[in-house]
Amino acid sequence: MFRQSKGNIAVGIEIGLCIIIGMLLGQQADAWFGTTPWLFWTGVVLGIGAALKAVVSAVNRTRRALENDDSGKTDRN
């Protein structure tokens, strides 16, 4: 149980970091190229996309873990 909640906390942190890093990289690129606000918003969108990928990956990992748990059990009725 603790292992699963630790994984969920890690996914939450990863979501936040993906969006923040995308935002900061976009903001820095805007400062370099003078394209305000276009690269900022591009970075935010790419960060959200990376966060969604992290969520999908976590769901797939959880699904595989549940399937492995279920396949190891036998019906004793």
Nearest to 54 by CA among 3, 8, 4: 8
Task: Give pTM, 2 decimals.
Answer: 0.80
Q: How many helices (H) and strands (E) would you count in the chain?
A: 2, 0
Question: Which helix (H) or strand (E) segment is 25 a member of?
Answer: helix 2-33
Percentage of the chain beyond pLDDT 90 is 64
Q: Express each pLDDT in 42-74 by its tens digit.
A: 999 999 999 999 999 999 988 998 888 877 665
Q: Identify the weakest region by mean pLDDT among 7-11, 22-26, 37-41.
A: 7-11
Torsion, Cα 31 37 40 41, to 10 degrees, reads -170
Which has more pLDDT, 74 or 28?
28
